Amino acid sequence: MTNNASQAMHSPFEHCLGIIRQASVEILLLLGVHVAEGKEPRWFMEQLDQARLNLGGWSVVAKKLHINDAQLSQFMLHLRHLQQYVPQYDSGKDVSENQLLAALRFVASLEQLRQRQPLLTYQTDIDAGNQDAQIQARRQLRAIELTLKALISQVWPDRHQLNSYLKLHFGADRLRRWLKLSEGQDALSAMLFSELALMVVDKKSFARHYSAFFKDASALTLFVEPRTTLRMFLEDCRQARNGIIAGQPLSSVQLSLLDCQFRQITRSVQRAFNEKRTRINPASFMASDEGVVEKFWEEAREKDALAGGDNQEIGESIEPPHKRQQRTAEEREQLISGVLWGAVGTMVLAILVGAFWLFSSPPPSAAPVQRDEVMQDDARLEAPSARETMSRMGITWDPFNMRSAIDRNDTRVTALFLQGGMNWQLAWTEQAFSAGNADVLQLLLRYPSLMDEVKPLPTLPDVAEPRHAERSVADVAA
């Protein structure tokens, strides 16, 4: 960097440091830390950390500043980045472009903070902006967007291959929307600024296709890696572009920051054009007529209205629509807990329903008599015969076995003989009669047709007890 360029940066850089010192006093006073005057960025960071300790945490600090935790993190990140580039500054020292960029980005954060917290009254104007600076800013933002489109078109000259790439990485729905809103089936003409920027700064795409355009060692070194620096600068451009579409003039801080970032973004591409390594000429986009520029912004406002605004922050890489974001440990724990409680609830509900059904259902009705008879008949048909049952019991079909069963009052075996059709004689009942075995005698009387006697005996033979000599079998059974 020449001495003239360094000297040209002295005034805006020192003015930024003055704004930071004034703002730090007001911010610390709002947080309960009283200081006489502001100092360098490192001192400001230490005082903010002390305010955190006094208030009990960063969330309380964010609440007092009327910002959320993410905005406070972004604010502290800009301050830390400035502290790394300007640990200590003495007036009159040489100033690098990266130091000026870091200071301008933090002053822009201070400006956003003042807009959210009305108790802060510090001023953030770098210089008195005029209408020419606003026109120049619109030209610069247009040139940056056209440069991105030209880079993508050079990498993807075939429109069918470009559409296949967009369909794979952004999804078929977004591609159809772009083609529907495009001019001449050119998807790039319908894409938002953040979508165009994401195609260039995507990790894989930048390394494979675009890194050769940004190899200038004097540009895009604020965050060490050119891709990260380019992404941060394009994100600042997106916010400035949204302000212009909304009809809001850019502040002097935004104008100065955009001017520095425009030079950094286009410098490498312009050098590649001068060396005939590309046909893309960013300077030609800046030389367009005023009518062409105005038409560009009118179409940009229409496209922004149809899309609902360009509010998506430029990410690190393209995430395909089918790729689900990985859950955090807390989300996984909540999911498992929800599944377990759902299973418990389902089980309890099933038990309650089962109990209600058991108590409310009527007792089973008796089956029809006809069906019972049929089932009994079927059971009899399927049951073994009396002779088969006796054979399984090891008893042969013999009259002596039947008489022995009568003598020992075995009604089961006697019944099997009778069911099988074995005839019996009155003489076989002598012992049963004398012993008073009424069960077997009653059983025999149920089968009178099986009694095998030529004629009935008038009296039974004498037995051990004479008082039973004249009793008949029927009397005993009775």
Give residue limits of the domains in the chain: 1-116, 131-307, 386-451
User: Residue 308: helix, strand or coil by DSSP?
Assistant: coil
Q: What is the pLDDT, as a whole number, of residue 376?
A: 55
Tokens 């495009």 appear where?
182
Q: How confident is the model at residue 478 (pLDDT cuts 50, 70, 90)?
A: very low
The DSSP code for 223 is T
Q: Report the percent of the chain where pLDDT is more than 70.
A: 86
Q: Report the alpha-carbon distance of residue 175 to residue 275 in Å, rounded.
A: 35
DSSP 130-142: -HHHHHHHHHHHH
> Dihedral of the CA atoms 446, 449, 455, 460 (nearest 10)?
-20
Q: Report the alpha-carbon distance of residue 279 to residue 151 in Å, rounded.
A: 9
Q: What six digits make up the tokens of 285?
A: 């986009």
Q: Report the alpha-carbon distance of residue 333 to residue 337 in Å, rounded.
A: 6
The pLDDT tens digits for 115-151 are: 999 999 999 998 766 789 999 999 999 999 999 999 9
The pLDDT tens digits for 236-292 are: 999 999 999 999 999 999 999 999 999 999 999 999 999 999 999 999 999 999 999
Q: Which helix (H) or strand (E) holds 303?
A: helix 290-307
pTM assigned to the model: 0.66
Say if CB 253 and CB 261 are below 8 A apart: no
End-to-end CA distance of the chain: 138
The DSSP code for 324 is P
> Between 152 and 375, whose confidence is greater?
152
Q: Which amino acid is at 407?
A: D
